[in-house]
């Protein structure tokens, strides 16, 4: 295998040299690669600094979080065909199809068609898995149209085509669909469990899903009560996202929490999806969208809560892999949201200057556990104890309100995880999952 390349998948079989007893002759025996299940865990917008922040808060600078227990790691390369920093929809399309696409793509290529995959087919890895009889599912803490999951099942000319995206999701027949965004399932003016419908085509996709055999649920209680014999499940848990992605000031003024306490967490949804798959081989795509949206809002407290929740979801997956080692989990982001970093506070005068001004020496916004009305920092974050038992005060410094192409890594555990090493392009997701799910490289090579 060549380092720094994605050529590892060209060998679809593993070869062993065996001695033929009694003949004194060595021969090569082809052994088929092992097949298993795969989980793509997309913590949107989360780069290395994001995970460092979460570790400091939860486990301390000397501790470890679940993310640290993914043993295989590579530098992630996430450029699109026409830009170094992709959109979420372009990033998801490249993950799903293994092909470079432009910034505006949503399950499409330059010509508006589903991209041509390394298997020379215009199908995503999830559509290929579904075609071969595997169970498939998508989980998102955002609305159902979020591209990090939807691009694995839908192809539309424009990200704003929410009516068509949700229609294709329901029509896909995926075994599990868990997300928010109820109004996009209902005709305009139709009152639902969480909100009022906005569809312009008059379709009631909740009723259509029921007719197609889905069990439709709306609450955490209903989700947790599902057994593995529930059949196909459509879960809709919020009017829009399951979180409120505004700045700290706006949330405080509105009296809103970072996350809707009535909605299930990403860990709960992931656990339910795995339970619903039962003993079937599967492909599951999960997205914690809050890390991206809170990062773009430069809300450090919201970002940290999103990361803590995402790490709890990784704990669920690692427990599952411990019992089902023939499962792969791969996690990465397609970009960094807000370009944050951590500044450790030291000395009263240094801390006072940072807290009162709300800016560092270069003018970058400084964020803590809430902000004052004057723009300063209400109080810093406090880390969990280090190995000496000492806690440390820190703030978050924001570089932008946009997405960046900075320090992002891919990490993996389980079946074929050792192939995540060196550098890992966004187009390498497809062939890694192809080999894991089907036991061969794309194209059968």
Q: What is the CATH number of the domain that holds 125?
A: 3.40.720.10
**Residue 292 clears pLDDT 60, i.e. is over it:** yes
* Domain shared by 163 and 252, yes or no: yes
Neighbours of 172 (CB within 10 A): 18
* Domain shared by 165 and 258, yes or no: yes
Span 37-57, average pLDDT: 97
What gap in Å lies between CA 207 and CA 220, rounded to an integer? 20
* Domain shared by 302 and 325, yes or no: yes
Span 398-409, average pLDDT: 93
What is the token pair recorded at 184?
């996009």
What gap in Å lies between CA 367 and CA 318, rounded to an integer? 32
pLDDT over 90 percentage in the chain: 81
* Buried residues in 327-357 as b, exposed as e (16+ CB within 10 A): bbbbbbbbbbbbbbbbbebeeeeeeeebbee
* Domain shared by 350 and 328, yes or no: no
Reported as type and span, the H/E element at residue 38 is strand 37-43
**Residue 392 clears pLDDT 80, i.e. is over it:** yes
Distance (Å) of CA 307 to CA 46, 156, 285, 426: 8, 30, 17, 21
Does 227 reside within a domain? yes
Position 371 scores a pLDDT of 72
What gap in Å lies between CA 327 and CA 311, rounded to an integer? 18
* Domain shared by 64 and 171, yes or no: yes
Containing structural domain, residue 369: 341-398
Position 373 scores a pLDDT of 62
* Domain shared by 330 and 360, yes or no: no
Locate the DSSP E strands across 361-422: 366-367, 381-382, 393-398, 403-404, 409-414
* Domain shared by 315 and 241, yes or no: yes
Contact yes or no for 381/300 (Cβ under 8 A):
yes
Does 15 reside within a domain? no
Does 29 reside within a domain? no
User: What are the pLDDT digits (tens) for 263-277?
Assistant: 999 999 999 999 999
User: What are the pLDDT digits (tens) for 310-340?
Assistant: 999 999 999 999 999 999 999 999 999 999 9
**Residue 129 clears pLDDT 70, i.e. is over it:** yes
Does 253 reside within a domain? yes
Position 11 scores a pLDDT of 34
| Half-sphere CA count of 31, side-chain side, radius 13 A | 10
* Domain shared by 128 and 265, yes or no: yes
Dihedral angle sign, alpha carbons of residues 340, 344, 349, 355: positive
Query: The pTM is what?
Result: 0.91
Locate the DSSP E strands across 182-290: 215-217, 233-236, 282-288
* Domain shared by 243 and 371, yes or no: no
Position 51 scores a pLDDT of 98
Confidence label for 32 from pLDDT (cuts 50, 70 and 90): low
**Residue 382 clears pLDDT 80, i.e. is over it:** yes
* Domain shared by 70 and 175, yes or no: yes
What gap in Å lies between CA 74 and CA 167, rounded to an integer? 36
Span 19-37, average pLDDT: 53
Does 236 reside within a domain? yes
Span 35-44, average pLDDT: 98
Q: Where are the alpha helices (DSSP H) in 70-157?
A: 88-97, 125-131, 147-150
Position 357 scores a pLDDT of 81
Confidence label for 20 from pLDDT (cuts 50, 70 and 90): very low
What gap in Å lies between CA 272 and CA 64, rounded to an integer? 26
What gap in Å lies between CA 124 and CA 117, rounded to an integer? 7
Compute the mean pLDDT over every residue in the chain, rounded to the nearest whole number: 91
CA torsion, points 267, 269, 271, 276, in degrees to nearest 10?
A: -170
Span 207-236, average pLDDT: 96
Reported as type and span, the H/E element at residue 15 is strand 13-20
Span 47-65, average pLDDT: 97
Span 248-277, average pLDDT: 95
Least confident of 140-149, 151-160, 334-343, 350-359: 350-359
Position 443 scores a pLDDT of 81
Does 285 reside within a domain? yes
Does 316 reside within a domain? yes
What gap in Å lies between CA 398 and CA 341, rounded to an integer? 7
Position 19 scores a pLDDT of 33
Span 50-79, average pLDDT: 97
**Residue 7 clears pLDDT 70, i.e. is over it:** no
* Domain shared by 248 and 386, yes or no: no
How many domains, the chain? 2
* Domain shared by 297 and 427, yes or no: yes
Position 347 scores a pLDDT of 83
Instruction: Name the β-bridge partners of 425.
Output: 77
Helix (H), strand (E) counts: the chain: 13, 18
What gap in Å lies between CA 252 and CA 245, rounded to an integer? 12
Does 8 reside within a domain? no
What gap in Å lies between CA 63 and CA 257, rounded to an integer? 28
């Amino acid at each position: 295998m060549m380092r720094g390349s994605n050529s590892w998948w060209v060998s679809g079989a593993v070869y062993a040299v065996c001695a033929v007893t009694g003949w004194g002759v060595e021969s090569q025996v082809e052994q088929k690669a092992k097949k298993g299940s795969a989980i793509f865990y997309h913590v949107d917008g989360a780069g290395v600094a994001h995970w460092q922040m979460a570790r400091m808060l939860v486990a301390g600078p000397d501790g470890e979080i679940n993310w640290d227990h993914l043993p295989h790691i590579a530098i992630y390369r996430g450029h699109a065909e026409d830009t170094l920093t992709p959109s979420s929809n372009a990033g998801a399309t490249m993950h799903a199809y293994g092909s470079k696409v432009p910034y505006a793509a949503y399950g499409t290529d330059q010509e508006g068609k589903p991209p041509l995959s390394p298997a020379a087919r215009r199908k995503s890895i999830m559509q290929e898995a579904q075609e071969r009889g595997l169970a498939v599912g998508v989980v998102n803490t955002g609305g159902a149209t979020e591209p990090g999951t939807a691009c694995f099942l839908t192809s539309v000319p424009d990200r704003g085509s929410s009516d068509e995206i949700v229609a294709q999701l329901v029509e896909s027949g995926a075994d599990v669909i868990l997300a928010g965004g109820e109004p996009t399932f209902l005709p305009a003016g139709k009152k639902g469990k969480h909100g009022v419908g906005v569809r312009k085509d008059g379709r009631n996709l909740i009723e259509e899903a029921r007719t197609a055999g889905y069990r439709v649920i709306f609450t955490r209680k209903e989700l947790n009560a599902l057994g593995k014999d529930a059949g196909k499940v459509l879960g809709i848990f919020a009017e829009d996202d399951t979180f409120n992605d505004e700045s700290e000031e706006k949330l405080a003024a509105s009296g809103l929490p970072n996350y809707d306490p009535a909605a299930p967490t990403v860990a709960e949804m992931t656990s339910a999806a795995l339970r619903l798959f039962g003993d079937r081989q599967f492909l599951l795509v999960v997205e914690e969208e809050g890390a991206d949206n809170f990062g773009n809002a430069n809300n450090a407290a919201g970002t940290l809560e999103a990361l803590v929740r995402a790490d709890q979801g990784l704990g669920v997956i690692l427990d599952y892999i411990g019992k089902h080692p023939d499962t792969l989990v791969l996690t990465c982001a397609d970009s960094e949201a807000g370009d944050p970093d951590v500044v450790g506070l030291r000395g009263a005068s240094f801390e006072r200057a940072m807290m009162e001004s709300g800016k560092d020496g270069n003018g970058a916004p400084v964020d803590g556990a809430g902000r004052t009305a004057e723009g300063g920092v209400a109080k810093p974050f406090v880390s969990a104890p280090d190995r000496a038992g000492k806690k440390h005060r820190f703030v978050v410094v924001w570089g932008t309100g946009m997405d960046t192409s900075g320090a992002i890594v891919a990490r993996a555990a389980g079946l074929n995880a050792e192939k995540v090493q060196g550098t890992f392009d966004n187009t390498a997701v497809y062939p890694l999952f192809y080999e894991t799910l089907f036991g061969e490289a794309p194209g059968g090579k």
